Amino acid sequence: MRLRHVLPLLLAWLTFGCANARTRACQSVAVQADSTKRASGVVDDASSYRRRVFYSAKLETCVVAEERLTGVESGVYDLSSEVVRDIPDFPLLHCDRDGARVVMLDSIRALRGYVTNVPYERWLDDGAGGPPRGLVDPVPVPYTAERCHALFENFLERL
């Protein structure tokens, strides 16, 4: 086998290996965060959520994505507050019956993650360009599990 055939395979293997190592590290951070929550008395029914923990190369941070197995709720979180830097634990996406609040990734990058003094409409929307959950009260038609799921999956594809 010639070097030009081996080199792409080697690069792919190294890239996959690094991504896997980062995802494993993220999973470890998530376990530690859960332990800290439980130790501080926060009760979380993790069994009622489908959960994915992974490293996002695009965001350069650990991401936790959770969807409620019953009911209407989904969320995407940055474990280390690298995306929204000045509001700890702010969800990158939150969707429930009352609407959706989605961080606009290009806007948040332009703001370097510092948004405390920036109007919401400059860095949040409903995932479709409209006003985010909380700015429209109440939403005209409650969100369904299907609508939240579609937003959730679309957001994760961009990470």
Strand order in the sheet with 73-78: 49-56, 61-68, 73-78, 93-96, 99-103, 124-125
pTM of the complete model = 0.80
Task: Specify if 24 maps to a domain.
Answer: no
Query: Mean of the pLDDT values across residues 36-51?
Result: 69
The single-letter code of the amino acid at 68 is R
The answer to whether residue 7 scores a pLDDT higher than 90 is no
Who has greater pLDDT, 50 or 33? Answer: 50
Task: Specify if 9 maps to a domain.
Answer: no
Task: Specify if 121 maps to a domain.
Answer: yes
What pLDDT was estimated at residue 39? 63
The answer to whether residue 1 scores a pLDDT higher than 50 is no
When divided into structural domains, the chain yields a total of: 1
What is the pLDDT of the chain when averaged over all its residues?
84
Task: Specify if 134 maps to a domain.
Answer: yes
Which domain range does residue 103 map to? 46-157
